[in-house]
Amino acid sequence: MAPMKPERRERDPDVADSLSLEQLARRWRMTRRQVRQVLGTGKLAFVQIRGRFRVSLDEVERYEREGGPS
């Protein structure tokens, strides 16, 4: 029997144009814990959607222009 293909999920509009902690960690080459510390400084706006942290791409780019992750 051939393996089943995973169901194709449509992109959730609630998280479109935003990044998760994991995505930010990869982008900035740091751990998720370090990203959470950056969020804790209040210098980077974020929201929680369904218990997950999300940061808008616009906010990430603004933060990077202003000096980026510390």
pLDDT tens for the 70 residues of the chain, in order: 667 766 555 556 556 799 999 999 999 999 999 999 999 999 999 999 888 999 999 999 999 999 887 5
The pLDDT value recorded for residue 49 is 86
- Return left, alpha or beta for 17; rule: phi > 0 is left, psi -120 to 50 is alpha, else beta: left
CA dist 16 → 32, 33, 58, 65 (Å)? 20, 23, 12, 21
The pLDDT value recorded for residue 6 is 66
Predicted TM-score (pTM) of this structure: 0.73
